[in-house]
Chains A and B, each alone.
Chain A
Amino acid sequence: DAGVTQSPTHLIKTRGQQVTLRCSPISGHKSVSWYQQVLGQGPQFIFQYYEKEERGRGNFPDRFSARQFPNYSSELNVNALLLGDSALYLCASSLSGGNPYGYTFGSGTRLTVV
Chain B
Amino acid sequence: ETGVTQTPRHLVMGMTNKKSLKCEQHLGHNAMYWYKQSAKKPLELMFVYNFKEQTENNSVPSRFSPECPNSSHLFLHLHTLQPEDSALYLCASSQDLQGNTDTQYFGPGTRLTVL
A and B bind: no
Residues of B within 8 A of A (CB): none
